[in-house]
Amino acid sequence: MTQDLARIRAFVQVFDSGGFSAAARQHGRSKALLSKYVTDLEDYLGVRLMNRTTRKLSLTEAGEAYYREASALLQQLDDLDATITDQTAEPRGLLRVSAPRNFGESTLAPAIYEYLAKYPKVTLDLRLEDRYVDLVDEGIDVALRISTLADSSLIARKIADMHVVVGAAPDLLKQHGTPKHPEDLRHLPCIIDVNLQGQSNWRFIEDGKTISVPVNGPLRVNSPLAARQAAVMGLGFVILPSYLAEPAVVKGELVPVLADFLPTGQTLQAVYPHRRHLAGKVRALIDHLVAWFQSHPVS
């Protein structure tokens, strides 16, 4: 059985690598041994799997069918081996994580760094950026996103509940009064964060239904931190993630308004590509973050 698997694996490796020489270099085997394994496999099956020339290697019709099934079988075996290994082995290796910049800097970083201290054999590549990241194309193991899952090619696990705050500086409220209903914002100065979904159409909930209120004001900016600073300086009302609003609220620089109309349901999610086997280092990170945010709830 072991010899049969070696022959099957050699066949798949040779085709995946584009030839015998490339496969030998990539997998540390001799070209002669790989050639022998593939020939033995063809002799055993009684059919040619590969067309070989000095310049090109291609699969026969039988080879294409055998390759599809063989590569899937080997992937299942590798996943099974990895699953058993991950149950007993300490997480290790390079872990690539993506997260929004401001959330990463203000809230996520201490949780991530505690994970690194807990698992010193993991090396972290933490990418904080406010653009949509394609996990598969960019080789990201897991992304932390504040949203609802839209991409059906991904799997998500909830980490924590999130919410937003609408607020304004005390002096601005003295000048314009406290809004009693979201529609009041139509006639009040607002700071527009263009990163926010809907941008200048702010969403609220009334009687279980979503209402959209168009707002305007003296500033459009692509940074929630800059939007917060503008609001603190009295330039307008602002809508912010709670983890960014809370420091200014605690200091009395911003006063929350319209709390009864704010939408709920947004969550912090760990998002990762569809895979039969979830790497132990990724599972350990997700479990760690769930526990962390249970003991360190987002404001």
pLDDT tens for 218-273 read 999 988 899 999 999 999 999 998 888 989 999 999 999 999 999 876 788 898 88
Query: b vs e for 204-233, b when ≥16 Cβ sit within 10 Å of the residue's Cβ?
Result: beeeeeeeebebebebebeebeebbbbbbe
89's tokens: 């082995």
Total number of domains in the chain = 3
pLDDT value, residue 25 = 87
249 and 171 in one domain? yes
**Ordered alpha helix ranges (H), 145-236:** 170-176, 224-232
152-202: pLDDT as tens digits: 567 888 898 888 899 999 999 999 999 999 999 999 999 999 877 778 999
The reported pTM is: 0.60
In a domain, 285, yes or no: yes
203's tokens: 């969403």
Q: Print the SS3 string covering 48-103.
A: CCEEECCCCEEECHHHHHHHHHHHHHHHHHHHHHHHHHHHHCCCCEEEEEEECHHH
Phi, psi dihedral angles at 145 (to 5 degrees): -130, 140
Other CB atoms within 10 A of residue 296 CB? 13
64-75: pLDDT as tens digits: 999 988 888 887
β-pair partners for 255: 168
The domain containing residue 52 runs over which residues? 1-82
251 and 172 in one domain? yes
User: Which CATH number belongs to the domain containing residue 17 in this structure?
Assistant: 1.10.10.10
Q: Which of 82, 105, 135 is the last residue of a domain?
A: 82
User: Which CATH number belongs to the domain containing residue 221 in this structure?
Assistant: 3.40.190.10
pLDDT value, residue 88 = 60
31 and 77 in one domain? yes
pLDDT value, residue 133 = 77
Q: What is the dihedral of CA 283, 142, 12, 67, to 10 degrees?
A: 100
Beta carbons of 41 and 7 less than 8 angstroms apart: yes
21 and 155 in one domain? no
CA distance 66 to 59: 10
